[in-house]
Chains A and B, each alone.
Chain A
Amino acid sequence: MRGTAAAAWLARRLAAAAAIVFAVVTLTFIVIHLAPGTPFLPGADRPVDPRLIAALTHRFGLDQPISTQYVRYLSRLVHGDFGYAFSQGVEVATALGAAVPNTLLLAGAALILDLAGGLLLGLMQAARARRTADIALGNATLFIYSVPTFWLGLVLVFVFSIWLRWLPPGGTTTPGLYESLPLLGRLADRFLHLALPACTLGVVGAAGTARYQRAALLETLGRDFIRTARAKGLTERRVLLVHALRNALLPFLTLLGLSLPFLLTGSVLIEYVFSWPGMGRLATDAVLARDHSLVTAVAIIASALVVLGSLLADVLYAVADPRIRRAS
């Protein structure tokens, strides 16, 4: 693809992405406003004077027609104002600002474990295809891939935290101690807290990636150019690692892009089990509390991640595979 054609394609895709995000946000806005209940009720078992609720409703403009509220929301959004999160008592930007880095950290670590572990396992299996090691690993990955993540999380917390006391049961850092640790100590603290939740997510993801990678590798190994390489006398290891892997890497790249939405949704249950203060937990609480602004903000981020992820996958695929570029 020529430069200008590529730029035009990219521009079109970005415009489409923006349109999708816009559609999702509008949908979310409508749905959350139609849901019964009000965001102003406190969490405790005591009533609030209905006049107070009416006053707050009026003050935050929630008694106006949806269209007016929508327009006002959009105009504020353009200026970077995401609104006020009633359920948290702070601005949406503040609440998200505290939660997003945690989710990124967890998902990033899990993603690394997922892709690296999956690639390794897939390679090992393809190298010993159909032999005992492959079958055993295959069954293991199948089992781990099928395990419910929340159950695995509970089991791991019990074994490594309550029983063995090797790792902390939740949270991102050791309270009271973290801030005063030296750099190395802080990294170690974060690492220890990250270990269990990232492993829970990462191991299950790695099992899935391994299955996928094994299939892709085996398919590539059956192709003609591999037979040629073997006929030329190359070692099996070189055949596998250099030739087969490079070709099988292409779908792997699309996995990378498509895993971006996993950043939010895959971690909801894990964040609950490990008290990880991330976006998943925040969003769940926000939906339950009818926190309009927070829910809409999360919808924006989530849908943006999804469309950008698939866009990234397409771009990586096009960059890596010249045939795609030529075909477009």
Chain B
Amino acid sequence: MTFRTFATTCAALGLALGCSSRGACRGDYCGTLVFVNANNPKTLLPPVIDNTGARDIDEQIFLKLADIGMSENTTGDAGFVPELADRWEWDDPRTLVFHLDPRARWQDGVPVTANDVSFSFDAYRDPALGAAAQGALARIASVTVRDSATVVFRFRERYPTAFYDAVYQMWILPSHLLAQVPRTDWLTAPFGQHPVGDGPYRFVSWTPGQSLELAADSTFFLGRPHIRRLIWRFVSGAAAGVDQVVTGQADAIDFLGSPQNIALARKAPQLTLYPYRGSNYVYVELNLRANGDTATPHPIFGDRDVRRALTMALDRAGMATSVFGPYAKVPPGPMPQLWSIWDSTIRTIPYDTAGATRLLSARGWRPGPDGIRVKDGQRLSFEVIFPSTSALRQQYARLMQAEWKTVGVDAQIQPLDQNLLLDRLQAGRYDAVIQGFGADPTPASGILQHWVRGAPDRYSHYQNDDFDRLVTLANSGSVTTAQAAADWRSAMDILNADAPGIWLAAPDNVAAVSSRIAGVKIRPDSWWSQVWTWRIPADRLIDRDRAGR
């Protein structure tokens, strides 16, 4: 056969092959949503997950007893939505009884029972697992089974966020699949690579480092999810993620970040921007004890006035505008915009370079020959560390370095990989660290985690009894809401006055989601938790929505 006939045959074949199976799905229950994430999770087993990507994925696969509502109200139980438990009651102020929804099933068919709940509580509290929620569950004395559909929580005391503590921290785990796996093996257990849950989506496949796929469970007892497939794509960094969304390769990103990215997303015709109250915050934590020797005070940061002067020397509002544009505020403490304790009447340290130089000189730090201040032979020079993966904190480090230089302070920038960073923090071998967190909706979790005596992440070695007393009081059940608010305010005043940290920014989060998706709701503490209620109208389906079975 001649070349021409050969070519035509090929073309015809190609067309025929190409035209077939253009996409089988039509109607209301189609849709493929692609998310981007910069970190490849190591495991999906809830108590031992290590990053927000895993959290987002587990949010689709597992259920809690009840979930927080869009109002993010953590006090009492009115703001909560039933999930695994369809109703609950308080037998007495310290006993909470949940009744499980009889329709709830694990994705392998086994019904969810109260045993699963008590098993989960056990696991989350087990020190061998080191779950992040361990501390938050401390005030729950016990979780017992009354019958197969009823579970009883007993608290050590009465306090306003008791219900929140009982439900928010734990995704209920399948005891029939995990009971026989020794706890020390949970970090590497195969269940973490192929989780079986009871939520709106089922795990389908995972190519490590590349992509992960979930499929809607059409028999989900709270309602069939409209969007059939969820795909997570793992990219090499935040910038790559934004590129993917802007070009239409991905459908949603939770945090655009810089104003340039927001401008880029705004120009993309297929995207809609959704600003929501930020749950992130960034601050500098200072080590009040000597670098490498927790027995002696830090030669620079041990002095409260020096810490205040260092804070005064930084134009925090200017830096926030430089980094985030109009999309961030300087917080009055280590808190995101989401927390109810955000109060503009809290006394914060103003931006005042003249005051800073005066204070430093007054404390004995005089400018040396190279412009850097010196006191008793010690230079006012220290190291600022942060994770090398965070471009945001790198930017802040550069800005602070330049501003401090103008008042005679020498800051050395040192990005470290996560491994080394945590190592140094836990050993107390650092001077200053730029921390960044995505927070739980309650202030208690962050503050109790970092700043009070006995806090597990108290890397600053900060100690103030008045502060501890006020925080414990505000958090206990023994004061009224108004009094608690006042207590929090006073506690924050003390924290600001002592300046063990420099509060840099609490960004407004701006998410970008494909415009074809209807019913988009983003809950600030867990942005993709409502995805199972989203839908794509049949007339707006695109190729990948229609693809597949």
Is there any pair of Cβ atoms, one from A and one from B, under 8 angstroms apart in the complex?
yes
Q: Which residues of A contact B (CB under 8 A)?
A: 36-52, 55-56, 59, 84, 86-90, 94-95, 98-99, 157, 161-162, 165, 168-172, 174-177, 179-185, 271-275, 277, 281-282, 288-290
Let me know if B244 and A98 touch, CB within 8 A.
no
Let me know if B192 and A89 touch, CB within 8 A.
yes
* A176-B419 contact, Cβ under 8 Å, with A90-B208, A170-B240, A184-B14: no
* A126 → B minimal CB distance (Å): 32
Q: Which residues of B contact A (CB under 8 A)?
A: 14, 17-18, 20-21, 23, 32, 34, 39-43, 50-52, 127-130, 132, 184, 187-188, 192-193, 207-211, 229, 231, 233-237, 240, 243-244, 246-250, 264, 387-388, 417-420, 422-423, 425-426, 435-437, 456-457, 543-544, 547-548
Contact partner of A175 (CB less than 8 A), chosen from B231, B243, B246, B388, is B231
Give CA–CA (A184, B18) in the complex, Å: 6
Give CA–CA (A42, B45) in the complex, Å: 13
Let me know if A184 and B548 touch, CB within 8 A.
no
Let me know if A36 and B420 touch, CB within 8 A.
yes
Which residues of B are found within 8 Å of A43, using beta-carbon distances?
39, 42, 50-51, 418
List 28 A-B residue pairs with CB atoms under 8 Å apart, sorted by A's residue number: A36-B420, A38-B419, A41-B422, A41-B423, A42-B50, A43-B39, A44-B132, A49-B130, A88-B209, A89-B42, A89-B192, A89-B208, A95-B208, A169-B240, A169-B244, A169-B247, A169-B249, A170-B235, A170-B243, A171-B235, A174-B544, A175-B231, A176-B544, A180-B23, A182-B18, A183-B17, A289-B418, A290-B419
Give CA–CA (A59, B185) in the complex, Å: 9
Most chain A beta-carbon contacts within 10 A, residue among B32, B43, B547: B547
Let me know if A162 and B243 touch, CB within 8 A.
yes
Which residues of B are found within 8 Å of A176, using beta-carbon distances?
32, 34, 229, 231, 544, 547
* A56-B548 contact, Cβ under 8 Å, with A169-B247, A185-B18, A290-B419: no
Give CA–CA (A37, B40) in the complex, Å: 20
Which residues of B are found within 8 Å of A177, using beta-carbon distances?
32, 543-544, 547
Give CA–CA (A180, B18) in the complex, Å: 11
* B248 → A minimal CB distance (Å): 8
Give CA–CA (A145, B490) in the complex, Å: 64
Which residues of A are found within 8 Å of B235, using beta-carbon distances?
170-171, 275
Give CA–CA (A181, B18) in the complex, Å: 8
Let me know if B127 and A49 touch, CB within 8 A.
yes
* A184-B23 contact, Cβ under 8 Å, with A89-B42, A89-B208: no
Which residues of B are found within 8 Å of A171, using beta-carbon distances?
233, 235, 244, 249
* A267 → B minimal CB distance (Å): 13
Which residues of A are found within 8 Å of B544, using beta-carbon distances?
174-177
Give CA–CA (A175, B205) in the complex, Å: 13
Give CA–CA (A184, B235) in the complex, Å: 26
Let me know if B236 and A87 touch, CB within 8 A.
no
Which residues of B are found within 8 Å of A273, using beta-carbon distances?
236
CB nearest to B127 among chain A residues: A49
**Other than the known A88-B208, A180-B23, A182-B18, what 4 A-B pairs have Cβ atoms closer than 8 Å?**
A37-B417, A98-B208, A169-B240, A180-B548
Let me know if A161 and B243 touch, CB within 8 A.
yes
Let me know if B247 and A275 touch, CB within 8 A.
no
* A52-B128 contact, Cβ under 8 Å, with A175-B233, A175-B249: yes
Give CA–CA (A157, B244) in the complex, Å: 11
* A281-B264 contact, Cβ under 8 Å, with A43-B418, A98-B210, A162-B247: no
Let me know if A182 and B231 touch, CB within 8 A.
no
Which residues of A are found within 8 Å of B249, using beta-carbon distances?
168-171, 174-175
* B221 → A minimal CB distance (Å): 26
Most chain A beta-carbon contacts within 10 A, residue among B127, B130, B543, B548: B130
Contact partner of A277 (CB less than 8 A), chosen from B18, B209, B243, B437, is B209
CB nearest to B187 among chain A residues: A56
Let me know if B127 and A157 touch, CB within 8 A.
no
* A172-B210 contact, Cβ under 8 Å, with A41-B422, A56-B187, A288-B417: yes
Which residues of A are found within 8 Å of B207, using beta-carbon distances?
98, 277
Give CA–CA (A175, B34) in the complex, Å: 7
Which residues of A are found within 8 Å of B388, using beta-carbon distances?
288
Let me know if A59 and B42 touch, CB within 8 A.
no
Which residues of B are found within 8 Å of A184, using beta-carbon distances?
14, 17-18
Let me know if A89 and B233 touch, CB within 8 A.
no
* A45-B208 contact, Cβ under 8 Å, with A170-B244, A171-B233, A175-B231: no
Which residues of A are found within 8 Å of B425, using beta-carbon distances?
47
Let me know if B130 and A182 touch, CB within 8 A.
no
Which residues of A are found within 8 Å of B233, using beta-carbon distances?
171, 175
Let me know if A289 and B419 touch, CB within 8 A.
yes
* A162-B51 contact, Cβ under 8 Å, with A36-B423, A89-B192, A175-B233: no
* A171 → B minimal CB distance (Å): 6
Which residues of A are found within 8 Å of B243, using beta-carbon distances?
157, 161-162, 169-170
Give CA–CA (A217, B88) in the complex, Å: 85
Let me know if B42 and A87 touch, CB within 8 A.
yes
Contact partner of B184 (CB less than 8 A), chosen from A46, A59, A165, A172, is A59
CB nearest to B388 among chain A residues: A288
Which residues of A are found within 8 Å of B420, using beta-carbon distances?
36-37
Contact partner of A51 (CB less than 8 A), chosen from B42, B127, B209, is B127
CB nearest to B426 among chain A residues: A47
Give CA–CA (A277, B234) in the complex, Å: 9
CB nearest to A183 among chain B residues: B17
Most chain A beta-carbon contacts within 10 A, residue among B208, B388, B456: B208
Which residues of A are found within 8 Å of B129, using beta-carbon distances?
52
Give CA–CA (A36, B424) in the complex, Å: 11
Let me know if A46 and B40 touch, CB within 8 A.
no
CB nearest to B43 among chain A residues: A89
* A298 → B minimal CB distance (Å): 13
Give CA–CA (A162, B263) in the complex, Å: 13
Give CA–CA (A39, B423) in the complex, Å: 11
* A180-B247 contact, Cβ under 8 Å, with A89-B188, A275-B240, A289-B417: no
Contact partner of B50 (CB less than 8 A), chosen from A44, A281, A282, A290, is A44
* A47-B209 contact, Cβ under 8 Å, with A170-B244, A182-B21: no
Most chain B beta-carbon contacts within 10 A, residue among A59, A162, A180: A180
Let me know if B188 and A84 touch, CB within 8 A.
yes
Which residues of A are found within 8 Å of B457, using beta-carbon distances?
46-47
Give CA–CA (A159, B437) in the complex, Å: 35
Which residues of B are found within 8 Å of A88, using beta-carbon distances?
40, 42, 208-209
Give CA–CA (A180, B435) in the complex, Å: 43
Give CA–CA (A55, B368) in the complex, Å: 50
Let me know if A89 and B419 touch, CB within 8 A.
no
Most chain A beta-carbon contacts within 10 A, residue among B41, B43, B237, B249: B249
CB nearest to B545 among chain A residues: A176
* B258 → A minimal CB distance (Å): 15
Give CA–CA (A170, B51) in the complex, Å: 23
Most chain B beta-carbon contacts within 10 A, residue among A48, A86, A273: A48
Which residues of B are found within 8 Å of A165, using beta-carbon distances?
247-248
Give CA–CA (A171, B36) in the complex, Å: 11
Which residues of B are found within 8 Å of A40, using beta-carbon distances?
187
